Structure 1
Amino acid sequence: MSSAASGAGASGAGGSGAGASGANASLPGDPLGGRRAVLVWGIGVAVYFVAVIFRTSLGVAGLDAADRFHVNASALSTFSILQLLVYAGMQIPVGLMVDRLGTKKVLTLGVVLFSAGQLGFALSPSYGTALASRALLGWGDAMTFISVLRLGSRWFPARRGPLIAQVAALFGMAGNLVSTVVIARSLHGIGWTRTFAGSSLAGVVVLVLLLLFLKDHPEGHEPAPAAHAGGAYVRRQIAASWREPGTRLGMWVHFTTQFPAMVFLLLWGMPFLVEAQGLSRGTAGELLTLVVLSNMVVGLVYGQLIARHHEARLPLALGTVGATAALWGAVVAYPGQHAPIWLLITLCVVLGACGPASMIGFDFSRPANPPERQGTASGITNMGGFVASMTTLLAVGVLLDATGDNYRIAFSSVFVLEALGVVQILRLRSRAAHRERDHLVASRVEAVHVTV
């Protein structure tokens, strides 16, 4: 996209108080989209789809992993914590790589790494080698989503940004669905090694498609030449992105909304439903699947709402946080040994909204930054939810060991991070809204100059 189109990001992603008509106006230099755009972007989404299958496969294999490697709750949580630590730590470096090297090179490296990690996890003879494999998987996984967001901004008009991002996330959740349905059944059908080794072949398939058909941008929409690499360039990119209130607001929205569902799906949902709630593995798997299905439906609804009514971004995000806290609290505090199944079903439906709500974070950071900083800004935003997830995964594991597997106490750690995130969102919202209106006015002025 040209710099003129970067202003369209302010309109495409929306601004508080901006009118829908102004927000949906295309600016000169916007890519047109079309079938070619869908094909190229679809290959990037396929890579992300496979990455999410690999990322979430441990969520349905947690109990099997504990038996296979003879580890307790804290050690089991270390698998996911290390994976997310690598993922979160790589977000800003990956954003810089995408801004400088382009999408295709970064995605190619990501596929090689996460496929090697999945295969290594299948063949690991010990806890230590399995940890190293999950770290490698997290490293490759970290390179996918930011690249897909960048690919969408290069191939589609800016006004499509919110919906394109939500659809990408929807396909990611479809990958989660494969984990909860296919991987779970395969584990008990053909065993650990064949399941994880066989799934790693999906990485080879998407690698071939990526090398043959993916292009960073359409003809005529080449990005400006990148600045010389070096420490000064890195510092400028990070500092300029961080100075924007919209980037910081996006990070805290992502931080606050994503982690409850991530913690539930990535590791602790299955043990909680089986060990604390007395459900069978089959029923627990169905509830995890419900979270994923709810996510996919809500993602489409949120994407359409935000694309048409940009002022709905913050109410949707905060409303999701409030609903999640209320249902989580109701389950944790329910009198008696087990919560009723209807309450667990309601919790899972509400948890499904967490992923789409976290995508709203990018709808704050995207219009705050020009195209040459989109990768870096997205990396900062994406880091938020994974830092929160990693912190909560660790807290739950430690509290379970310390309290003798008391899930009520362990799961209460969710409320601490939600409260922190809400405070930061409320603190930054006014500054981000004012700054976004300034960007919108500037983009309209630039569009007039380009047209004239």
Structure 2
Amino acid sequence: MNVRAQQMLGYALLSIAFFIGFFHRFAPATFAQPIARTFDVGSTALGGLASMHFWVYTLMQIPAGMIVDRYGIRTPASVGTALVGVGAAFLALAPSFAFAMCGPALVGFGMSIVFASVMKNNAIWFTGKRFGFVTGCTLLIAALGSIASEAPAALLLKISPWQPIFLVLSTLSIVLAVLIGFFWRPPPTGRFGQVAVGTNKEQTGSLASMRSVIRRPQIWLIMLAISGTSGTFYAFAGLWGTPLLTHSFGFERDTAALVMTLSLLPYGFGSLFVGQLSDKLRTRKAFIIAASGVSVLSWVWLLFADGNTPVAAWVCFVLLGLSSAQVVVSFAAVKEGVPADSTGTALSLVNMGVFLTTAVVQFGYGWLVASAASSQTLAGDVYRVALWLPAAISIAGLIGALKVVETIPRQSIQHSPKTSSQSAK
């Protein structure tokens, strides 16, 4: 098999794993009611089940990045994909709600490794000029997985119980894990101007590398900015968007699911093009600030809007999806601000913040809704009152975005005295 074929086959296998993982990530929005009926649980418990994926995924981000930086991609990616499959089976076959909680936890564990593997694969197999475009394609594929978990999955539920759907996904994941183990290969050393993965274990994936990453203020600012956009959007696209639209804005359930599906389209296709546009306009910071500003305006409008404006609510969620495409530019800025052998660790650290935010919002919003309901707030207002949580986080993200340092041209980052000294560590 020639180098080009190896490159595309490896990318395709990892991208399919990413697609399946994003289906699981956003599936609770569609499967919430049947899962709640199966286990006879309320909104707080359901929020806990959905957020379990994100808690474990978040806690595993730095370890997963270090594992991939140190040991390469093939074995970690194969094991991570297999864990996703096992987690899906756990949820589908769970005899009790407590047992069911293990399913999303295993999926989150596996997806943390898959994410680090996918991003590291893109960094070592594709040159800097192609990284933004390839990352955009990858996130488009992920968004298609999210879209499949919304309206298409709702159609599947009309002809099948939810458990067989998850068992099919489990089988596909395990087969895919075997294929990754057999067919993924690293690029020839130096072929794409990158350090070969796992060839310098004393330098890559080490505690010293992690310390070098966490000492960079830029990494934390980008994490805060993405948390305010993607972190809050994921929480609603993955669980609470449909209940909010049905309870507070008068949507029918199928229409609300369709709106959430449509909100993922600008996220996916925006991811494909925003990286290229950022490259062409020679700026990362402007895109990060603009996306954060759109997110703030959308959440604030939803918080204070009249419930009799469903069209405007639909527009807000489409804009929230579009603002989340910022993640491509942000990942490019992270890659440009760290040494090549720390890419996996840096990207995983930033991603950790995003999904920590998602987990907090999913659980916290459910708790706030339950608390508002118990205090006898009007049923239509319960979901609106709790929106102060994502609104506040998005404002904090905008503050972080304003302080992000521009990373184009890359030379300005590489040759600054502070960064040079850190890179030498």
8 Å contact kept, 2:57–2:111: yes
8 Å contact kept, 2:6–2:185: no
Alignment of 1:55-74 (within 5 A): 55-74=25-44
SS in 2 for 1:218: coil
Call closer, same or farther: CA 1:224–1:280 in 2, change over 3 Å. Answer: closer
TM-aligned CA deviation for residue 219 of structure 1:
5.3
Q: Paired residue for 1:15?
A: none
Question: Is 2:10 the partner of 1:40?
Answer: yes
Q: Paired residue for 1:9?
A: none
CA distance in 2, matches of 1:394, 1:436: 42
SS in 1 for 2:155: helix
Query: What per-residue deviation string (whole Å, max 9, x for no partner) do you get for residues 155-193 of structure 1?
Result: 111121111111111100011111113322222321122
CA distance in 2, matches of 1:246, 1:427: 8
Call closer, same or farther: CA 1:297–1:247 in 2, change over 3 Å. Answer: same
CA distance in 1, matches of 2:105, 2:167: 17
For residue 345 of structure 2, what is the amino acid of its counterpart? T
CA distance in 1, matches of 2:148, 2:228: 26
Alignment of 1:221-300 (within 5 A): 221=191, 222-223=196-197, 225-228=199-202, 234-300=206-272
For residue 400 of structure 1, what is the amino acid of its counterpart? V
Call closer, same or farther: CA 1:304–1:284 in 2, change over 3 Å. Answer: same
TM-aligned CA deviation for residue 441 of structure 1:
7.9
SS in 1 for 2:316: helix
Matched length:
406
CA distance in 2, matches of 1:173, 1:267: 15
Question: Is 2:171 the partner of 1:201?
Answer: yes
Question: Is 2:83 the partner of 1:83?
Answer: no
Question: Is 2:312 the partner of 1:304?
Answer: no
- Please list every run of 5 or more consecutive structure 1 residues that lacks an aligned counterpart in the other structure: 1-31, 443-452
8 Å contact kept, 2:246–2:253: yes
8 Å contact kept, 2:267–2:323: yes
SS in 2 for 1:125: coil
CA distance in 1, matches of 2:383, 2:342: 42
For residue 267 of structure 1, what is the amino acid of its counterpart? L
TM-aligned CA deviation for residue 433 of structure 1:
7.7
- Superposition TM-score, scaled by structure 2 size: 0.89
User: Share of identical aligned residues, percent?
Assistant: 24
CA distance in 1, matches of 2:332, 2:213: 14
Query: What per-residue deviation string (whole Å, max 9, x for no partner) do you get for residues 12-52 of structure 1?
Result: xxxxxxxxxxxxxxxxxxxx985542332122111111111
SS in 1 for 2:27: helix
TM-aligned CA deviation for residue 302 of structure 1:
0.6
8 Å contact kept, 1:96–1:375: yes
CA distance in 2, matches of 1:361, 1:379: 12
- Counterpart selection for 2:289 from 310, 318, 327: 318
TM-aligned CA deviation for residue 243 of structure 1:
2.0
Query: What per-residue deviation string (whole Å, max 9, x for no partner) do you get for residues 211-263 of structure 1?
Result: 23211323554347333499xx7321211111233322332232222122201
SS in 2 for 1:189: coil
Query: What per-residue deviation string (whole Å, max 9, x for no partner) do you get for residues 119-158 of structure 1?
Result: 1111112110111111111111111122111101111111
8 Å contact kept, 1:163–1:307: no
Q: Paired residue for 2:303?
A: 332
TM-aligned CA deviation for residue 438 of structure 1:
4.0
- Counterpart selection for 2:331 from 359, 362, 365: 362
8 Å contact kept, 2:224–2:396: no
